[in-house]
Structure 1
Amino acid sequence: MSSMKKTLIASALLFATAQADTHLVESNRQASDEIAITLYNNGTALVNESRSVLLKKGINQLLLKDVSAQIRPQTTHLKNRGNSALQLIEQNFDYDLLSPHAMLEKSLGTSIEIRSFDPTGQKVQETATVLSTNGGLVLQYPDRIETGLPKDAQLIFKQIPDGLKASPTLSLLLASEADEAAPLEITYLTGGFDWQADYIATLSKNETEFDLTGWITLKNNSGTTFENSKLQLVAGDVNQTPNYGSPRMMKASMVVMDESAYLPSEESFSDFHLYTLPMKTTLKNNQEKQLSLLSANAIPLTKEYRFTHYVQDHSESKNRKAAIYLLIDNTEASNLGMPLPQGVFRVYQERDNGEALFIGENRIPHVAANETFEVNTGNAFDVSVSESVTQFERITKTRTQSSHQVIFKNAKKVPVVAKYTEQFGMKGWRLLSVSHEPSQKVGTSATWNIEIPAESSVTLTYKVDLETESK
């Protein structure tokens, strides 16, 4: 450590102990040169703010007003872009905000004025001492003690009680080696923010392709409004330790048209994906805002009707409905090919008259480029299955043989393909006979793709030999 820095730190500690000649500097949001907010999927945001402040040589009490009300003070990082060396000695987060109730609580044991009106309408003003605000207001007048307030009463305070702030304030005790208009960069993590992607897909009438619009939904419940801010979004699961509260004080050390210009840019960053919005925006407190993420047309899809059954349950069913899945390739060939953040995928379909009806939604995870993802939109009304066991025989203590009948029904006016997966639950299985050959045998399951004509039914039968336990 250089002798200059040693001297600066020593003098800072001396001044901090003496609390003498401290220069008070107040900085509000209007002093900000730049605000950048990076939002994560887990309710956290990183705020990076640049402010120019006039510091004096020696000790400065810097009040940074209008920070997030849910700031995590222990994550604060301060950097001086100027020439002078700074030493951060102490910081306090003052989150007792100014309100009528807070003023009363801070006025316990002091006198306030109560202005009201008597039964004749004449103005009455009295002095009383605030005794308690616990469960209600208790006031001591010169000749009595009362609870509550007269109707239409006004409270008059001589001054704002100590410790109350009009806005969330981060108080920093700084030592500066010289007078300077210091360009400071303040970075901190805060709660109260969240974002997710919302997708709106409109299916074609023949259900072979769809148009897609993506929105970013931003939520600000941080207790603070951030105006004219640069926004970035991180897609991915960033690990964080639990936050058990914020201490008040701590010691710290230093398609028809080209829409691309209005859509976020995307880039890989470490093991995550970063989306940068092209224009600055204002995030008001307690506001939910939507911004455009993507727009794509004529995206091909595959629609599947799925059934899954577990043989070991020995369960039978009647008219069990098929689960509907839409399979989508996130590739450039499919007019997509970009990382898709997790979010809610809502599906609409146009009727013959052009009216769009909502047909289902599902939450999708983060989808990387060139991956296939699927959306479960619900259960089919007209495609069902009935399952039954027609024969069961125990061959040995560990082996069984059973015959199964599966009846597929399609009440639609068009043919469909049902994907039926039978889970045998163990590797020791063998099909002895089948009416339809399975399209796939993997591990402990077999899958059939059954073509069902319009307004018709198809029956699948099979007999299976199961090794129920290890020998």
Structure 2
Amino acid sequence: MRAALAILPVILSAPALAQSVVVSSAPVSTSVTVYRDMGRGDGAMNPGWLNGYALISEKRRISLPAGESVVRFEGVADGMIAVSAVVSGLPGGVSEKNRDARLLTPASLLDGSLGNRVHIRRTNPATGKVSEGDAIIRSGSGGAVVLQTQEGVEALRCSGLPEALVYDAVPEGLSAKPTFSVHTNSPSATTAEVTLTYLATGFDWSAAYVATVAEDGKTLDLSAWLTVANGNGADYRGTQLLAVAGKPNQTSDFRALGAKPEALSLALQCWPMDGTSTYPAWGVQPSPAPAPPPMAAGMYDGSEEVIVTAMKRSESLQASPVAVTAQQEDLGDLKLYRVPVPVDVVPNGQKQVALIGKANVPFERLYTRTMNPWDSEDEGPLEVTLRMQNKVKEGLGVPLPAGGVVITQRQNDEDMLVGESRLDDKAVAERVELDVGESEQVRFEQKTLSVDESARRVRITLTNALPSQAKVELRVPRFSNYRLNASPKPVPDGADSIVSVVIPANGSKKIDLTFSAR
């Protein structure tokens, strides 16, 4: 019987010998081009839920035997979209592609060995001696593992002492890393440089801006960082990093196509052997857990790594002091940002590279309000808006990708935070506006003067408590069945009309608006 069992694996493996398996454990070089999550708009990225994607290109050096073989590309992205994969450079071409979706975990190792003989290493509760014996796995990883040993049938790890299973081999089909495989037929034995290109989910990128207002309140310095997030377990060391701005058309459900490999978890449960103090369900409440240490109580839990490329400090951004800055290129109607040096994009982490640096950009400070003419009474502070023109002669003149903006004010050579804002994609020559927040120094009051069949008359009172004048813009929605009359004269702006007025320092002004029926 033992002789027959020894010969059986040889017989079963004979057909497999006709087809060699070639393993490529890691790429020689990579290129990662990241596309943003279009559904996010100008909102912030969520590191735990990245809905962007990336085009990944990997160059690998592979030694191929003559004849048929299976080439396994290990370490591909978790969110790989297998149907998008293209393999070039194989002398015999590709006859079949497979995404190996089962990862090697304690649970999958256990399930793959169901019904097979393994070794169990355990501690004798009486003597403390560690011994090893044979066992057969009789159940899977769902809650409890049942073993059959020469002593009988029992559950794993229910003795309260250390127990471990030792496997002779890894079951077929399990991969320690996400793996993509292809079948090829090489005319001769050779070493080939192969390129694997594919789309993968679990990436995103955004711009992070800092706008520092000068002490005179007339200009600001605008800098931006390209922030790339990698939600995959794949590690891209020394990669060529690129990011695409714009809105390329996407009709496929990438998240469904790029489902991550199956990684079963192992959670063993046994009948409780402790006292009633361990299990609140038995009527005794446990003592409260101690408070976490200061580091654990903070927002950062160590689950992701953030790497920031170093930036030299200088008094003038105009002098381009940044050691590494992403270079802008045209990609059809899209914008491409290329990092000129190899960088590391780590698993489940973020990477930041300098993107923009502009100094002494002139801006206009406005106090704005979108009014509702049907409110009989209303009052409150006006919103502060910093307006710039994205033109070269105005100190900018560069495409501005969407992202968050931190706004600071320089005061006695210190930068003080005054607000945060969001910025949508802005092309060259477009108007750029940053919302800083509300000002209690510049306020408005709205009252309805009269209403009849022909017109509605509203009075707006604006007050300015600042020691300098304040320019106010009232945004009034336009209605097809009403005509707006006011002094100063309203100016059309999209679906609204703008009424502009300058309030003197420590002064006030009244504006009467009349909505006449057409």
**Aligned pair partner of 1:317 in 378, 385, 395:** 378
Q: Which letter maps to 1:272?
A: L
Q: State the match for 1:49 in structure 2.
A: 58
Structure 2 distance, partners of 1:139, 1:324, is 70
Which runs of structure 2 are paired with 1:42-441 in the superposition (5 Å)?
Answer: 42=37, 43-80=52-89, 84=91, 86-117=92-123, 118-130=125-137, 131-142=139-150, 143-146=152-155, 148-149=157-158, 150-240=160-250, 241-243=252-254, 244-246=256-258, 255=317, 257-259=319-321, 262-311=324-373, 313-318=374-379, 320-352=380-412, 354-394=413-453, 400-431=454-485, 434=486, 436-441=487-492
Q: Which letter maps to 1:94?
A: D
Contact 1:98–1:167 (8 Å) recurs in 2: yes
Q: Which letter maps to 1:306?
A: T
Per-residue CA distance 1:361-382 (angstroms, 9 max, x = gap)? 2221222222222122222222
Q: Could you list the runs of 5+ residues in structure 2 that have no partner in the other structure?
A: 1-14, 38-51, 262-316
Structure 2 distance, partners of 1:442, 1:52, is 59
Greater Cα offset, 323-332 or 109-118: 109-118
Q: State the match for 1:11 in structure 2.
A: none
Contact 2:65–2:190 (8 Å) recurs in 1: yes
Contact 1:214–1:295 (8 Å) recurs in 2: yes
Per-residue CA distance 1:422-450 (angstroms, 9 max, x = gap)? 2242254153xx5x322525687543222
Q: Which letter maps to 2:253?
A: P
Contact 2:367–2:383 (8 Å) recurs in 1: yes
Per-residue CA distance 1:296-318 (angstroms, 9 max, x = gap)? 2111111211111132x344202
Structure 2 distance, partners of 1:298, 1:105, is 65
What TM-score comes out, normalization by structure 1 length? Answer: 0.85
Structure 2 distance, partners of 1:73, 1:402, is 63
Aligned residues: 429
Q: Partner of 1:73: helix, strand, or coil? A: strand
Structure 2 distance, partners of 1:53, 1:61, is 12
Contact 1:304–1:417 (8 Å) recurs in 2: yes
Q: Partner of 1:88: helix, strand, or coil? A: coil
**Alignment of 1:37 onto 2:13:** no
Contact 1:70–1:190 (8 Å) recurs in 2: yes
Contact 2:156–2:163 (8 Å) recurs in 1: no
| Distance change in 2, residues 1:140/1:466 (3 Å) | farther
Structure 1 distance, partners of 2:19, 2:345, is 35
Moved over 6 A (4+): none
What TM-score comes out, normalization by structure 2 length? Answer: 0.77
| Distance change in 2, residues 1:430/1:87 (3 Å) | closer
Greater Cα offset, 417-426 or 192-201: 417-426
Contact 1:427–1:443 (8 Å) recurs in 2: no
Q: Partner of 1:192: helix, strand, or coil? A: strand
Q: Which letter maps to 2:168?
A: K
